[in-house]
Amino acid sequence: MNKIYLDNAATTAIRPEVIEAITDSMKTVFGNPSSIHQFGRSAKSVVETARKNIANHLNVSSSEIYFTAGGSEANNLILWNAVVHLGVKRIITSKIEHHAVLHKILALKSQYYFELEFVQLDQFGQIDLIHLNELLEDTSLKTLVSLMYVNNEIGNILDINKVSVLCKQYNALFHSDTVQGIGHFNIDLQKTPIDFITASAHKFHGPKGVGFLYVKKGISVKPMLIGGEQEKGLRAGTENIHSILGMEKALTISLTNLPKEKVYIQHLKTYFINKLKEIPGLQFNGISTDATYSSYHILNVRFPIETDLLLFNLDLKGIAVSGGSACQSGAQKGSHVLGELLHEKERNKASIRFSFSYQNTIEEIDYTILILKSIITT
């Protein structure tokens, strides 16, 4: 049976070079970076080199990068700091954010007082920047805007340049969940002055359980995890050295190969879209078919059938995809993103997120189309 992985927005396979880097570090670097002896100093040195290299990719200082256990922790850390320590009295977000953001904001709202505003969306899930401007100019309260760069379910790309300009104009803090963007797009934080961004290594062919947080210089944040002075006092716990080195390697390779791999993956997506259009009644969620405003690696498709078994049937044929955010799989809940965008009749139809990597092939796309047509027409 064919085994075809088209769920790269959920997680990616680790690159062979990254596995090698992790394995080599396990053999040679085992000291605690907090220890003052030569083994500790050696470990500290490689961690700080990795921090510097990651910072260089974003055009920031290494002192602005903090290592975490992933994007969810990084998002939680910033949102908690905003309300508890940074004096934020108003948060503006959207109803289609990742639950690591949306659920954290709602949890904070149940514990602390602040105003919560949701920016309007158009029918395709695009942020209404005019409404965002109106919300920002409507108050003098200290405000945090939290909007994701690339939506993990429908692939819509936020114009972070325009949002950062608006936030600067109204003296608001800007936090962006960039988990689906880091490693897939070049981000220069000198040109696009975002205050906080987050990343998770397993989204760009690195190891799971490690990520990083960027905090703009001059903003003081406090730890949620107490018990040590690691990560410049922001996160207690011995650093995950081997995964950090793997993350740095994965990010470097992803950005080095980006010009070539982006063209290749976009070609796969475009080819897939054209083949899918041969299925009568099929529609695309969000702006999935737009090559400019939708990420080249995510496609969300709505099929002309009402069934909960499409994912299962594809899996039986060896095709791995997602019906929404992977964090929701197994929870027996529909996508909150599609729930915001689609009318009830359309929500009942089977929607699938396909997401691609450099490892996918045209032959895999052809096989997937063949299986989809056989399922839809029977």
Structure letter (DSSP) for residue 204:
G
Rg (CA), the chain: 21
d(CA 47, CA 55): 12
98 in Cβ contact with 179 (< 8 Å): yes
Q: Which residues of 109-125 are buried (b: 16+ CB within 10 A; e: fewer)?
A: eeeeebeebbbebeebb
At residue 85, φ and ψ (nearest 5 deg) are -125, -20
Among candidate residues 13, 165, 327, 369, the one labeled active-site is 327
User: What tokens were used for 107?
Assistant: 């949890």
Residues 6-42: b if buried by 16+ CB within 10 A, e if exposed = bbbbbbbebbeebeebbeebeeebebebeeeeeeeeb
Is 327 a residue of the active site?
yes
The partner residues of 215 in beta bridges, in order of sequence, read: 196
Other CB atoms within 10 Å distance of the CB of residue 331 = 9
Contact 166, 129 (CB under 8 A): yes
Catalytic annotation, residues: 327
